[in-house]
Structure 1
Amino acid sequence: MYRIFTFLSITLLSCFALQAQNIQGIVHDKSTGVIVPGASIIIKERPQGGTVADGNGKFSLVLHNGETLLVKMVGYKSYERYFAKVQEGQQVEISLESGVALDEVLVTASLANSRSKRAIGTNVDHIDAADIVAKSNPSSLAELVNGRISGAQVYNTNGKVGMPIRFDIRSAATFSMERDPLIFIDGVRYGSSNTADVNSSQEAMSALNDLPMNDIASIDVIKGPAAAASYGAEAANGVVIIQTKRGLSGKKGVAVNVKYTGGFSELANKYTKYVNNDALNNFFDRGHQNQYYANLSAQFDQANSLFFSANSNTTSGIVPGNKDNRQTFRAGYDFTKDNFKLGFTAGYVKGKLSIPQSASGRDDAIWNLMRDQTPWPFISEETWRAIEKSYSNDRFTGSVKLNYTLPFNIKLESLVGLDLNRIDGLNYLPYGYLQGTNSTGAKQVSDRKNQNINWDVKLSRNFALADKWQLNLALLSQLTKSTETVSGISVRNFAVPGISNISSAAEILGTTDTYFEKRTHGIYGEAFLSYNNQLFINTGVRRDVSNMIGRNVASIWYPTVSVAYNVKPFEFMQGKIDEWKIRAAYGESGRLPYPNDAQTAYLIENSSFGTLVRPLRKGNPDIKPERTGEFEIGTDLSFFKQRLGFTYYLQNTRDAIVYTTLLPSLGWPSSLSGDYPENVGKIRGKGIEVTYNSRVFTSSNQKNSLDLFVIFNHQSNKVISSGGNDIINTVNLIRPGLPAFSFYTGVSEGANFNSNGVYTGAKESAPQVLGKPFPTYNGSFGFNLQLVNNLRIQSLFNYSKGAKVYNISNRNVASQGNNFKTSEDLKAQLATQTPGTPEYIATANELAQYAGPRGNFIEKADFIRLSNVTISYDLGVWAKKQTNGLFKSCVLSLTGNNLWLTTNYGGIEPQIDSQGGSKRTRGISYLSSDWTAVPAPRSYAMSVNIGF
């Protein structure tokens, strides 16, 4: 006991002996003087005390006497500086030389801490969004993220402006349709659910449409439970951590940045499968974008910094009437004084999104143009253009973060985050336009209020142990609450033209009044042990409670452990291997049950027999979250100007929720068949992620270089148990031994003939497995070419192989309409032939392949796409000279997206999904179905980015 007391006393005295001082600095390129944003600033003796240079290359941190500053950035050589004595407020200027180093940035892999990437035992991808946006023009989060991280596909599920984003992360080892990752913006738990109150889920409004791309500084993508365990019961789909830009953190001053972006979009690929393709191809418009953005960063003194931005974006899509008008304001303030730090962020978005109906219905534009050779068979074009479908939304996000160092060097951090979203939906048919049998008008309105609150409190303490050992202990409490309130009414038959208020309608079709609340509280403890900035061991456990789980389930525990070891090159490897990290991790996380899975409900009705109580819903008091455990092992290696990353992961999901049949003998009606939730499913997934970056060429003067990169992913999953039953929805099946959501249906086995030998339709086989909706292989590749230190040309290709898509569009046209060219040609040929002849039989058998069986239209969807080409030119030095220093930077850029596509898919767009991404719904539904969705457009944009 005496030895333990002595050891702790020495440790505490050593901590007090260290003199902590605040320093500020700026990072720039040694040869050009251009600032370098996003550099990782690491304290070698205390890696957890580091930071990241902001969008202006500036940083601030607390440094002790006798510590060493290590600065790393992709494309530059490492920089080290030892500080024997640190002065309060000392200004540090860091000049980086061009070179190749391991991607060494500070990332947020744990809810409890942000750490240098070398210290993390999992594959967490970091995106320097500020640099990408400064030199390019991504229009959505999907364009910013897709192809830049391993193990994930991220894409818009519909080619219209403002549409949902689909996340396919790692092996998709789940039965759940809820597939979105958790999203945090500056610590705020962001509500990312799509809104479809007055339209279909395929054409819902994406909540991620409210994210201003120009304000994002960095994105960390946590892809699996091994890394996401600290985030608890909803993190099995991964976590996306977004940090926005902040004020200057360096010398006193003010910096202003302005950017204009203008561009247009158009139909990328022409429709060619139909008799009348012209009507479809001529329907699409040329869309336009105009965006104005400005921000101000200020450092008033050593303690106060401020950031403010304003953004106005007006975008029209390729579908007539599809428009998004959005204004965004964001502010951030930071105060730092001694051991106290206060941070504040606030963002406001006001927007209106018009979404004309063009997919998944009788009154859709594309279906009316696609089905018959004569277009608009179900609704006139005039009526379609007169209908208004739109969402108006106001959104406020804000956070307050407090850091304070208590006695004994205990660090207290507390953050309160708030996300408030008000959305008004409108679906309006004016009087005098015929839709179906109604020509006297109709109107549907909705009023939605979404609210997300999170409160995090963390205590942490760093211990400098003997002989280069460091120990950091952290304890975190996190409380989250989400609510959704929706009210609405639908009416029709207005009294006279020109009057459209709800009260003037003669008929009320229905009303909506729903409320949903989700509460979760988690406690997470973590111990992080490091040795000599080389060996890092992390262990943690989280306990969650939630109102979404059954009353008989007290809480859920999620453990995590990871190891990262940075190998020192052996003597014979010196000069050949720059850095080599070996890592391994295990963690568990979950997916909460769906709303009402735990609650039993009854409906009270009045009848002639008196008041009746009727069973409405049977909840399960024992329902638990779906639980995924993930083991991950990998390595990161930098050698000979090459960088290689390899990750293998294995996921085991248990307690997957399956909806089973209730027995009528227990008092539950057969109408509730398949509606009782139970934790009986199991599924296993695995995969490989490989990243490779190579500096192919560097000129002697360091002004010209060529870099190549490749991302390769392989993933698979297999259902182990589904509760003893097959689970199927139309064409998607969950069955033990098969990949989840396998396509399962009948196909044509040839033609049927009547007694006269006349073709009467197709013979349909018994249902059979026809593929899966997720690719076996996917990834990206491209290059980054820099010329004369000013001109940069970048490309990004995406590819996918092994997935299939259910082409509902072609099936419906071939079996219900007369516009599918292949079947119409075969019908015409059949009409010229004699029944019973070999030629007639051969033609009939071929025609049967385009008949009703769904399996005929489950098609391969492999593709290679040129997703992005960006050409940027840095005029900073010239502009600074021409304006006598008024312009500090000036970058011109030209961006093209979705420029080229090659695919074996029979539809117009292989990367598509009629469900519109994840969906809050019980059971399973369609996955990877193409139901007259709008294809991804080709777009071009030009921007001018000027810094003052």
Structure 2
Amino acid sequence: MYKFFTLLVIMMLSCFALHAQSIEGTVQDKASGTSVPGASILIKERPGSGTMSDSEGKFSIVLRSGETLVVKMIGYKSFQRQFTKVQDGQHVDVKLEAGVTLDEIMITASLANSRSKKAIGTNVDHIDAAAIVAKSNPSSLADLVNGRISGAQVYNTNGKVGMPIRFDIRSAATFSMERDPLIFIDGVRYNNNNTADVNSSQEAMSALNDLPMNDIASIDVIKGPAAAASYGAEAANGVVIIQTKRGLNGKKGIAINAKYTGGFSELANKYDQYVNNDALNDFFARGVQNQFYANLSAKLDQSNSLFFSANSNRTSGTIPGNKDNRQTFRAGYDLTKDRFKLAFTAGYVKGKLNIPQSASGRDDAIWNLMRDRTPWPFLTEEAWKSIEKSYTNDRITGSLKLNYTFPFEIKMESLVGLDLNYIDGLNYLPYGYLVGTNKTGTKQISDRRNQNLNWDVKLSRNFVLNSKWQLNLALLSQLTEAKERVNGISVRNFAVPGISNISSAAEILGTTDTKFEKRTHGIYGEAFLSYNDQLFINAGLRRDVSNMIGRNVASIWYPTVSVAYNVKAFGFLEGKIDEWKLRAAYGESGRLPYPNDAQTAYLVENSSFGTLVRPLRKGNPDIKPERTGEFEIGTDISFFKQRLSFTYYQQHTRDAIVYTTLLPSLGWPSSLSGDYPENVGEIKGKGIEVTYNSRVFTSSNQKHSLDLFVIFNHQSNKVINSGGRDIINTVNLIREGLPAFAFYTGVSEGAIFNSGGVYTGAKESGPQVLGKPFPTYHGSFGFNLQLINNLNLQSLFTYSQGAKVYNISNRNVASQGTNFKASEDLKAQLATQTPGTADYISTANELSKYAGPRGNFIEKADFIRLSNLTLSYDLGAWAKKQSNGVLKNCVVSITGNNLWLTTNYGGIEPQIDSQGGSKRSRGISYLSSDWTAVPAPRTYALSLNIGF
């Protein structure tokens, strides 16, 4: 029997040998010819069998006749070849072409690397911006991002064009007012600070207004320290990585694309809470947009590609005089030659933004229309129209990236990024118009120079340990430098009409000359270990030094570690689950101290007693960056055309900066009370992010389909330590045991009557907690309907629940004016009733709810909004036929933004903030306040997108 089985095995092996042969091969990059180590070598007909290319790109595998060889590598298109007959010792040259498959999207995983999404242990969201913009018309980066990523709300804080964008990312576990993420565009560290040199922060000019949406190829959003640790001491708010369009891939040729967008905007929801609503509603104008965009992509040969684009955008807003005129030019060049790669990008922006004064002050248009039944009580409409507030800006951005592969496959990458922004501000009231007590004119000008520079150098090496394991090591140095210089002067009282130069003014009100410089250097090391293209382990450590931290703090370390495991379905799950990834990560990053927190300064003054040295500012030589650690765990699973992503995270912020009181006994004046920075704050946050995508229906001929998606987020935070004291600004409070920036103020407890029973005002309670400015739940949902292959209808709804807004507008009108309908109706009713009666007392108690206490106007701000609806029709096949192949594509689309809103908020717009998108401010200010802000408009746009 033993001999029989031995003979049988020999016969089987002989039979296999007749049909299976060992082949050898090399895997190379098609463009450069360099070897590609670590590529997966698979046999399609025999899942689970395979090997990997070695450090020189070589491999050997046993293949049978009729089987298909498959070669995969992250960042390359898959290679397949069927062998009808295999010869022993046969050599195969595999040339991989750069690119990715649909199920292998490349994501910015860290500062050091981009990787396939399956290899990343954190929830990094990727937006295919080019595909979205090709079929719709987002008016700002907020329109493009909001509702398309989990864990974040992104919106314009004011409804005028060119306004700031507010980012609320994850649990908001910080005391800081600086909440903007880091933004990189083609590797350039972008200066995204808003400019408010001649106006309020609510109506500042957004730096992100300088980037045309049509130029963006993709956006990666890193939402927390677990993923952003490699970016160091300024990345606790997250990182947004924007890649612009590049030249053609593949065959030699030229492609030209042109797009025209025309549209208009209008007041989305009518004011109805006032006695005289007509004057306010009629004030808003119909805004107009005209945008022309064109780009050229070229593949000159196998090594060279080019990209050029030009964009002209003229937009007016719903406030009369609000205009944005902007021209943008961008260019890109890519060279790949053997082991050398070069990528160059340059952009230039020329713009002018007119921002008429309409919010946050006595001389604002909306306040003058809200306050009294008779509009314009403080100045005439003509005087308001005469005021010019504007910014002109020139911006140059550029990056140069050089890659070279040395012997032994050691890769070096060096990138230099530059962002130069010159901004001139003007606030001018001509002679002859009365504003306040001035009728002889005023003028304020500012001259701002912003400069950002970053220089990254990286060395990396991939090691193929065996057929299953490989290790990638990377070491990176990053230097960032930001400089700001602002000069300004403010004058008044011009001698005669028509002359407005600064020297002709009789009085100088003030001058400014401020400088700011921030320098940070970080070194980041990373080890990335993978097993069988299934298990991925990443560990990294960053060390930062900065001139923003105290002199006694040598450096700060930020660790990160993540694991991603791609489960292979087995048993009854096999064939039902297409993809299943488990992931976990931990990382730390920070927020730098405010400028001058570390510096002590004195003021030298001359007096009759001689030279005096007066304390000006007390710095802390031990001040450190705020540090946020984040633990994240989650899973991504695809099954039966459904895709589910779940993430749970916890954030722990320590060393939060709290500004404490200086003791006068130590020689510091009481005017500096509450101005000394210390790292004593601590706050924790947590949240859940769920994303669900479903293919609900596909027709038998594959021409019709319906997809649904839902994003659900839950978030919360709690202050653990605030230095043993309450920190409050107006209505926002930092207190141990409460959410950060909780609303805290008094409310009306009932009416107060005089001795004759006449209502005289409201009794105000002591301060109490009245909610928080951040929602507990928020997210989005919508559908994508495809009909007859060409017609596409997309919708995007956004929602929020649990946040509150301080409605300063209604409070001020109710307590100072005569136009708030709810209180005016009660006043009229009270006038018909007899003091002392039950009816009079009841009406007076109701009227007291609209009295001065701020807490009466801390209002719920839940909402559901139809943020976007787009109908597009692809005429590509028809256009190509009609033009004999000259036209390659043609898409017509109609887009509506902010089409519908339902809310329990008593104002006109629940998603608003008078502080603007970010505030570089010591200590806390107030968040989520509606101070006569311009509501988000409803916009409609028609676009024609054609390609040659």
> What range is the shorter-chain TM-score in?
over 0.9
Q: Report the counterpart of residue 30 of structure 2 in structure 1.
A: 22
**Mapped contact 2:228–2:238 kept (Cα < 8 A):** yes
- Partner residue of 1:367? 367
Residue by residue over 1:353-402, the C-alpha shift from the partner in whole angstroms, topping out at 9 and shown as x without a partner, is 00000000010000000000010111110010010000000000000000
> Are positions 1:933 and 2:929 aligned together?
no
Distance 1:81 1:397 in 2: 41
**Structure 2 match to 1:770:** 770
The letter of the residue matching 1:608 is S
Residue in 2 that maps onto 1:474: 474
Q: What residue number does 2:804 align with?
A: 804
Q: CA deviation at 1:700?
A: 1.0
Counterpart of 1:509 in structure 2 is 509
Q: Distance in 2 between matches of 1:622 and 1:276?
A: 57
Q: How many residues align?
A: 892
For residues 56 and 470 of structure 2, the distance between their equivalents in structure 1, rounded to whole angstroms, comes to: 16
Note if contact 2:31-2:338 (Cα within 8 Å) is conserved in structure 1.
no
Q: What CA deviation, in whole Å up to 9, does each residue of 1:742-785 have, x standing for no partner?
A: 00000000000001100010000000000000000000000000
Counterparts of 1:569 and 1:789, CA distance in 2:
33
In the TM superposition, what are the counterparts of 1:355-394 in structure 2 within 5 Å? Answer: 355-394=355-394
Q: Is the 8 A contact 1:635 1:646 kept in 2?
A: yes
AA in 2 matched with 1:684: K
Q: What are structure 2's unaligned runs of at least 5 residues?
A: 1-23, 41-54, 60-68, 83-89
Which one-letter code corresponds to 1:650 in the other structure?
A: Q
Write the distance in 1 (CA, Å) between the matches of 2:72 and 2:143.
32
Residue 18 of structure 1: how far off its partner (Å): 5.0
Tell me the amino acid that sits aligned with residue 161 of structure 2.
V
- Structure number with larger C-alpha Rg: 2
Partners of 1:17 and 1:79 in 2: how far apart? 16
Question: In structure 1, how many angstroms separate the alpha carbons of the residues matched to 2:623 and 2:187?
Answer: 30
Deviates more, 1:491-500 or 1:154-163: 491-500
Q: Which residue of 2 aligns with 1:946?
A: 946
Is the contact between residue 868 and residue 896 of structure 2 (CA under 8 Å) also seen in structure 1? yes
Task: Report the alpha carbon displacement of residue 467 of structure 1 after superposing the two structures with TM.
Answer: 3.3
State the partner residue of 2:440: 440
Give, in whole Å, the separation in 2 of the partners of 1:85 and 1:324: 62
User: Which residue type is aligned with residue 29 of structure 2?
Assistant: Q
1:655–1:679: 8 Å Cα contact kept in structure 2? yes
Task: Name the CA distance, whole Å, in 2 between partners of 1:121 and 1:92.
Answer: 24
For residue 130 of structure 1, give the secondary structure of its aligned residue in structure 2: helix
Report the equivalent of 1:59: none
Q: Secondary structure at the match of 1:849?
A: helix
Residue-by-residue CA offset, 1:161-219 (whole Å, 9 max, x unaligned): 00000000000000000000000000000000000000000000000000110000000
- Contact kept, 8 Å, 1:89 with 1:302, in 2: the verdict is no
Residue in structure 2 matched with residue 422 of structure 1 by the alignment: 422
In 1, distance between residues paired with 2:885 and 2:325? 35
- Report if the CA contact (8 A) 1:805-1:859 is conserved: yes
* Number of the residue aligned with 1:405: 405
* Equivalent position SS for 1:454: strand
The equivalences for 1:728-743 within 5 A come to 728-743=728-743
TM-score (norm 1): 0.92
Inter-partner Cα distance in structure 2 for 1:827 and 1:534 = 72
Aligned to 2:163: 163
- How much does 1:611 deviate? 1.0
* Matching of residues 201-350 of structure 1 within 5 Å: 201-350=201-350
Instruction: Measure the CA separation in 1 of the matches of 2:96 and 2:181.
Output: 41
Alignment partner, residue 824 of structure 2? 824
Structure 1 counterpart of 2:618: 618
In the alignment, the residues of structure 1 paired with residue 364 and residue 641 of structure 2 have an alpha-carbon distance, to the nearest angstrom, of 53
1:254-286 CA-to-partner distances (Å, cap 9, x unmatched) read: 000000000000000000000000000000000
Deviant stretches of 4+, over 3 Å = 16-19, 43-47, 62-73, 82-94
Deviation of the 1:20 alpha carbon:
2.6
Deviations 1:311-362 (A, max 9, x none): 0000000000000000000000000001000110000000000000000001
Q: Which amino acid is the alignment partner of residue 262 of structure 1?
A: G
**CA contact under 8 A between 2:78 and 2:96: conserved in structure 1?**
no
Q: Is the 8 A contact 2:330 2:348 kept in 1?
A: yes
Structure 1: runs of 5 or more not aligned: 1-15, 26-42, 48-61
Q: Equivalent residues in 2 for 1:671-682 (5 A)?
A: 671-682=671-682
**C-alpha separation in 2, matches of 1:735 and 1:698:** 54
Q: In 2, Cα distance between the equivalents of 1:200 and 1:22?
A: 55
2:719 is matched with 719
Give the match for residue 81 of structure 1: 80
Equivalence for 1:52? none
Q: CA deviation at 1:21?
A: 3.4
Alignment of 1:423-822 (within 5 A): 423-822=423-822
In structure 2, give the amino acid aligned to 1:81: Q
Structure 1: how far apart are the matches of 2:556 and 2:834? 71
- Shift, 1:792, TM fit: 0.5
% identity of equivalent residues: 83
Residue 23 of structure 1 contacts residue 63 of structure 1 at CA under 8 Å; is this kept in 2?
no
Contact 2:333–2:345 (CA<8 Å) still a contact in 1?
yes
C-alpha separation in 2, matches of 1:633 and 1:467:
29
Instruction: Measure the CA separation in 1 of the matches of 2:148 and 2:728.
Output: 34
- Of 85-94 and 907-916, deviating more is 85-94
Q: Write the distance in 1 (CA, Å) between the matches of 2:777 and 2:27.
A: 53
Query: Does the CA contact (< 8 Å) of 1:45 and 1:533 recur in 2?
Result: no
Whether the 8 Å CA contact 1:636–1:644 is kept in 2: the answer is yes
Residue equivalent to 2:20: none
Structure 2 Cα separation of the partners of residues 420 and 431 of structure 1: 35
In structure 2, the CA distance between the partners of 1:757 and 1:185, relative to structure 1 (3 Å rule), is same
Contact 2:26 2:94 in 1 (8 A): no
Task: Supply the distance in 2 between the matched residues of 1:63 and 1:281 (Cα, whole angstroms).
Answer: 71
Distance 1:765 1:92, change over 3 A: closer
| Distance in structure 2 (CA, Å) of the matches to 1:816 and 1:71 | 68
SS in 1 for 2:522: strand
Q: How does 1:826-905 map to 2 (within 5 A)?
A: 826-905=826-905
| Residues 44 and 68 in structure 1, CA contact (< 8 A), matched pair in contact too | no
TM-score between the two structures when normalised by the length of structure 2: 0.92
Separation of aligned partners in 2, 1:722 and 1:272: 42
Change over 3 Å in CA distance of 1:464–1:44 after alignment to 2: closer
Partner of 1:118 in structure 2?
118
- Give the residue type in structure 2 aligned to 1:383: A
Contact 1:72 1:105 in 2 (8 A): no
Partner of 1:12 in structure 2?
A: none
When residues 215 and 439 of structure 1 are mapped into structure 2, their CA distance, relative to the original with a 3 A threshold, is same
- Partner of 1:784: helix, strand, or coil? strand
CA offset at residue 917 of structure 1? 1.5
- State the 1:109 CA deviation: 1.9
**1:26-65, aligned counterparts within 5 Å?**
45-46=38-39, 64=57
SS of the residue corresponding to residue 383 of structure 1 reads helix
2:30 partner SS: strand
Residues of 1 paired with 2:146 and 2:81: CA distance? 39
| Alignment-mate amino acid for residue 234 of structure 2 | E
Deviations 1:74-123 (A, max 9, x none): xxxx97636997769787999x8xxxx8x641000200000000000000
Deviation of residue 608 (structure 1)?
1.3
SS at match of 1:118: helix
By how many angstroms is 1:571 displaced? 2.6
Instruction: Return the alpha-carbon distance in structure 2 between the equivalents of residues 155 and 117 of structure 1.
Output: 27
